[in-house]
Amino acid sequence: MKAYRPRLRVWPPSLACGSIQEMDIVYEDAKSRQVVVRNMHLAVWFDAPNVDQMHEWGRQALAVKQRNPKGTGLMNLIVSGTPAFSAEVRAAVKDYTERAVHDVGAAHIVLVRGLLASAVRGFLGTAMLLGRPKNPTKVFGELGPAATWMATNAQSLGAVRWDADALQAACQRAITR
């Protein structure tokens, strides 16, 4: 795994619903990208993670939480790849699910289709069943409903407020290579 130096992207106002949003890419490799926007942790998966990538995800999740004590959310975006998860990855996912670091919620957005989507949803369902998260957690097949759900959670829990359109735009920007 290569070392990654974080970089910052500043969005034009048109992508941030009237205000400039900073997009901090805190980790990136061939299979994944970890992005932080305000109190949201955007995890983009271009392929199934290995255990080192899962541990990096855990480090970034804790870092976001430390910087945002009023609450954080996870937008976990599965955009492509082959659903092959080692026993170590499964154990790490179960552990992080149990910890429920993102108290605003965890939205798992499966943007792949067909049998691949079924396999990913099966894995996520098992992880939630075994991990029994204490935070609101939900699996989605589309980004729009996930952004609306997360924005509603943030508002109801008194965390940093989000506009659903701005959150969706942030996720779209994070996905773009």
Q: How many residues does the chain have?
A: 177
Residue 14 pLDDT class (50, 70, 90 cuts): very low
pLDDT of residue 9: 46
Please check whether residue 1 lies inside any domain of the structure. no
User: Contact, 41 vs 75, CB < 8 A?
Assistant: yes
Arithmetic mean of pLDDT, 129-137: 72
Does residue 2 sit within a domain? no
In this structure, are residues 150 and 107 in contact, taking their beta carbons and an 8 Å threshold?
Answer: yes
Residues of the chain with pLDDT > 70, as a percent, come to 80
Bridge partners (DSSP) listed for residue 27: 34
Q: Is residue 103 part of a domain?
A: yes
Quote the number of domains for the chain: 1
Radius of gyration of the chain (CA): 15
- In this predicted model, what pLDDT tens digit does every residue of 64-108 receive, in sequence order? 999 998 899 999 998 988 777 788 887 887 777 777 788 899 999
Q: What percent of the chain has pLDDT over 90?
A: 41
Q: Is residue 72 part of a domain?
A: yes
Residue 48 lies in a domain: yes
Is the pTM higher than 0.75? The answer reads: yes
**Position 21 in a domain:** yes
Burial 10-29 (b: 16+ CB within 10 A, else e): ebeeeebbeeebebebbbbb
Written in H, E and C, the secondary structure of the chain is CCCCCCEEEECCHHHCCCCCCEEEEEEECCCEEEEEECCEEEEEECCCCCHHHHHHHHHHHHHHHHHCCCCCEEEEEECCCCCCCCHHHHHHHHHHHHHCCCCCEEEEEECCCHHHHHHHHHHHHHHHHHHCCCCCEEEECCHHHHHHHHHHHHHHCCCCCCCHHHHHHHHHHHHCC
Q: Is the pLDDT of residue 166 over 50?
A: yes
Answer whether residue 106 is part of any domain: yes
Residue 126 lies in a domain: yes
104 is in which domain, residue-wise?
7-175
Mean pLDDT of all residues in the chain?
81
Greater confidence (11 vs 33) lies with 33
